[in-house]
Structure 1
Amino acid sequence: MKKESSRIEYKKLYSDDLDIEKEVVAFLNYREGGFIYIGIDDSGKVVGVSNTDKIILKIKDRIKNNIQPSALGLFDVVEETRENKPVIKIIVASGTEKPYFKKKYGMTEKGCFIRVGTASEPMPQKIIDELFAKRIRNSIGKIKSPRQDLTFEQLRIYYEEKGKPLNKQFKKNLELLTEDGYLNYVAYLLADENGTSIKVAKYAGKDRVNLIENTELGYCSLIKATKNVLDKINIENRVYARITPKERIEKRLWQPVALREAIINAIVHNDYTREVPPKFEIFDDRIEITSAGSLPDFLSVEEFFEGVSVPRNKELMRIFKDLELVEQLGSGLPRILQFYGRDSFKFTDNFTRSIFYADKEVLEYLKNEESAAQVTEHDTDQVTEQVTPQDTPHDTPQVTSQVTDRVTDRVIDQVTDQVKNLLLAIDREYTRQELMTILSMKHNQTFRENYLYPALKNDLIEMTIPDKPNDPKQKYRLTEKGKQLQKQLKKQTKL
């Protein structure tokens, strides 16, 4: 067990008399944030905590109500197991609105604290005044929305889906208002309609010369736009499957977990005060994700890679966490670094960019697959040209059928059993929920990733409303290619 340090504080027991606010304030004001563990004594010995759920709720409530400026989006309280005993871990990010203080005492030496070595010490009044003078005032929580006639039906739906319906005070509770009661820029970004354009561009080749697709996914709630970007790039993240004597091995162009974290990080931490949205670009050999704004002035590159968390938009961070798009605070970058190196990140004075190169084995497979498809198309054209009605009128359908069956058999070998089951289930237009019911599926993500998206990527099914992928009236039907494959599958089933 690590010893206490400038970033780690241990508390043996929790009680209502424990000054947890003091410790949280000290880490909010510290340039690197930190961690508070309850259930571990000063020597690092794990003693454990009982009734963790109740204590976690109490701690969250105390931090929310007793600290100013608001720390929402800057902390997490989670349960962990150490030496087979439950402990509570409080994760605190460095805040951008320093100085933070205990509400009861205000911006005084009794209310403001800072980490000094392994202790939380009162902050000298001179430093309090200096920090207040430098406090970032131009944040999206303080900027008035350019529109005040905003609606939030999409946001309501997403919260209801998570069993967290919004009440009449949601604008205040989610910090969507300025200090003088106007809707702020956070509200603007989360509204049903706004002027924020988020696009996914796709190029033929390795540069930006030949743009072949520019998908518009913005002008709606940032939550909906995020989900649309995730869905779109998931479709582009094509799969290569290899069957060994022991198992079926699947690989994608890019590692899905890392890619998802990078997409969400770019959206949540984008500097929207510049009115420049994040950008997603797909090339033949890589994907580039660019967000506006470089690292905060007080955060070094080394600290960034060490996982020091300084949320640029704490209001967005809190809402994304509410809706389970973000997990534990500060966990995104470590997930990415499990699969991609530090050289995948580029920092300039105005932008942060992630560059993920595609898996070479998958690229080679897809390249060979496309070449095979071109050869097959060429073979079919030759047969059609060589066998004309004038030459052999009775043999033409048979020869064409043999070629079609051979091509279809090749496609059958390349698709998964899940996709085959999906194709066999479709005999008309269906909604996603109807298809899940037919296939006895209950988990949305499993259905999307293993059934729906692979079928869409291979042009076996298509959307009835392709311009609006997330339209509530969206349905799915077989393409001509899918119908041919279904026909062959049924023939094989009978055999």
Structure 2
Amino acid sequence: METEELLGIIANGEDSRHQFKAIINNVNSLASEMAAFSNSKGGHILIGVNDDGTITGLSDDQLRRINQDIANAATNNVKPSINPMTQNFSLPAGKVLVLTVEAGLVKPYMDSSGYIWVKSGSDKRRVTAREELQRMFQEAGLVHADESSVQNSFTAEIDEESFDAFFEREYGESIEQQHVPRSQLLENMNLAKDGLLNIAGTLLFSSRPQIRLPVFIVKAVAFPGLYIEDDQYIDSQDVKGKLTDVFQQSLGFVLSNLKHIQKEQGFNSTGEPEIPRIVLEELIANALIHRDYFISAPVKLLVFADRIEIISPGHLPNNLTVDNIKMGNSNVRNPILASFAPKLLPYRGLGSGIKRAIKAYPHIDFIDDRDSNTFKVIILRKEK
């Protein structure tokens, strides 16, 4: 940071990335501030500056002490420890210390009392909501939604015919040849624990998944124009069932609401959809497999006159960006679902789906909306 940039920050006042402190006297309080920045998007603490932006300045002894306090707090009072950077500035009104804390890679970060803090405007707040804590542990790779047990979802609720056919197809032996109950096989396959199906097991093999997980559906609507209208729509469907059924029905919904082009097919042919089928397969499969199942909301599938929107709960995990995923980078949010998907859906994993879709049809936009915690895919419809 240069002096001119520092003066500009002071002139603009405090916000969620910049906080002013006249002095630091409490190492525990400092640790909670650093934890909040680490759990959020990072930022700067300007020490030697009042809340109103007036510069009080620091003595040389204060600069030395506070630099030492920062090092101690970062190592001993923030868990896991962090590596902040400090800069000392000599301004006309006095000396200012700038403490820079980067957004953390192994969230959540806690203070010495075990509390988790995040930034809230120019202040901070303690995280207490279960869903928010789950998402933070999820980002750290410490917990995955699809392995969470579903309350009252007993293993006896699986569709035995579907599960048995999958097992024999995948492992080359029938269920009867295993000489162990299906409940044990489900646990061995990471689909259940202690007699309860997890989210992955419920979505993949339960006879009626939405009895236990009613919000994990696809809400599909086709509109005649360019905007969402409450009373003007062409088609609407709440898509339910096992994940394979939801995929097929969602794909069918879009295809039935698209134009089909004859090209060189015969007169009686249904023709090819205006958007290649492989594009829809890849993007719908991605939405079902990689959505955030800690969020109680459906996937939305919206067909407009000029575009298709697929809106998934949960922004891109960790430090993934739109540019990353276009290059084939991936971060598996639901590892159990991702491991079963290639065996049940036209899904290949390894981050190749987005690249394949763009190659087949470049007219696709991606919006990672971290404020609303959603990820949106927009497939533009082009006149043929």
Name the TM-score class by shorter chain.
Answer: 0.5 to 0.7
Return the offset for 1:133. Answer: 12
The answer to whether structure 1 residue 152 and structure 2 residue 158 are counterparts is yes
User: Matches of 1:280 and 1:259 in 2, distance apart?
Assistant: 11
- Distance in structure 2 (CA, Å) of the matches to 1:276 and 1:323: 23
Structure 1 counterpart of 2:186, one-letter code: K
- Distance in 2 between residues matched to 1:212 and 1:250, nearest whole Å: 21
Q: Say whether 1:356 aligns with 2:362.
A: no
Q: Does residue 208 of structure 1 match 2:231?
A: no
Alpha-carbon distance, 1:205 to partner: 0.9
Does the CA-based 8 Å contact 1:202-1:282 persist in structure 2?
yes
Map Cα deviations across residues 449-491 of structure 1 (whole Å, 9 max, x no partner). Answer: xxxxxxxxxxxxxxxxxxxxxxxxxxxxxxxxxxxxxxxxxxx
Asked if 2 retains the 8 angstrom alpha-carbon contact of 1:240 and 1:251, the reply is yes
Flag the 1:249–1:213 CA change in 2: closer, same or farther, 3 A. Answer: closer
Unaligned runs of 5+ in 2: 1-104, 108-136
3-state secondary structure, aligned to 1:199: strand
Q: Deviations over 1:328-348 (max 9, x none)?
A: 532211111103448611110
Q: Which residue of 1 aligns with 2:67?
A: none
Matched, 1:198 2:205: no
- Aligned-residue sequence identity (percent) comes to 24
Check the 8 A contact 2:192/2:198 in 1, yes or no: yes
* Counterparts in 2 of 1:225 and 1:133: CA distance versus 1, 3 Å: closer
Q: 1:342 to 1:243 in 2, by over 3 A?
A: closer
- Of the structure 1 ranges 330-339 and 250-259, higher mean CA displacement relative to structure 2 is found in 250-259
1:175·1:315 contact (CA, 8 Å) conserved in 2?
yes
Whole-Å Cα distance in 2 between the matches of residues 272 and 252 of structure 1? 31
Which amino acid is the alignment partner of residue 295 of structure 2? R
In structure 2, what is the Cα distance between the partners aligned to 1:183 and 1:141? Answer: 10
Name the structure 2 match of 1:437: none
Distance 1:242 1:134, change over 3 A: closer
8 Å CA contact 1:237, 1:252 repeated in 2: yes
**Residue type of the partner of 2:222?**
K
Query: Aligned pair in 2 of structure 1 residues 161, 273: CA closer, same or farther (>3 Å)?
Result: same
From 313, 334, 348, the equivalent of 1:292 is 313
Could you say if the C-alpha distance between residues 161 and 355 of structure 1 is closer, same or farther in structure 2, counting changes exceeding 3 Å? Answer: farther
Residue by residue over 1:45-70, the C-alpha shift from the partner in whole angstroms, topping out at 9 and shown as x without a partner, is xxxxxxxxxxxxxxxxxxxxxxxxxx
Q: Distance in 2 between matches of 1:328 and 1:294?
A: 18
Instruction: Report the Cα distance in structure 1 between the residues aligned to 2:364 and 2:236, rounded to whole angstroms.
Output: 27
Amino acid at match of 1:139: H
Residue 249 of structure 2 is aligned to residue 235 of structure 1: no
Contact 1:305 1:342 in 2 (8 A): no
Matched with 2:187 is 172
1:102-132 deviations in Å (ceiling 9; x for gaps): xxxxxxxxxxxxxxxxxxxxxxxxxxxxxx9
Q: Does 1:336 align with 2:342?
A: no
Distance 1:357 1:306 in 2: 20
Residue of structure 2 equivalent to 1:282: 303
Q: How many residues align?
A: 229
Give the corresponding residue for 1:345. 366
Q: Deviations over 1:118-154 (max 9, x none)?
A: xxxxxxxxxxxxxx99843442244220222352216
Counterpart contact for 2:154–2:197, Cα < 8 Å: no
Quick check: 2:284–2:310 contact (8 Å CA) kept in 1? yes
Residues 108-147 of structure 1 aligned to structure 2 (within 5 Å): 135-147=140-152
TM-score in terms of structure 2 length: 0.53
Q: Which amino acid aligns with 2:239?
A: L
Equivalences for 1:48-67 in 2 at 5 Å?
none
Question: Normalized against structure 1, the TM-score is what?
Answer: 0.41
**Cα gap change, 1:326/1:158 in structure 2, threshold over 3 Å: closer, same or farther?**
farther
Kindly state the Cα deviation for residue 301 of structure 1 after the two structures are TM-superposed. Answer: 3.0
SS at match of 1:147: strand
Distance in 2 of aligned mates of 1:292 and 1:307: 21
CA distance in 1, matches of 2:252, 2:366: 23
How far residue 314 of structure 1 moved from its aligned partner, in angstroms, is 0.9
Structure 1 residues 335 and 159, CA gap change in structure 2 (3 angstroms): same
CA contact (8 A) 2:146 2:293 kept: no
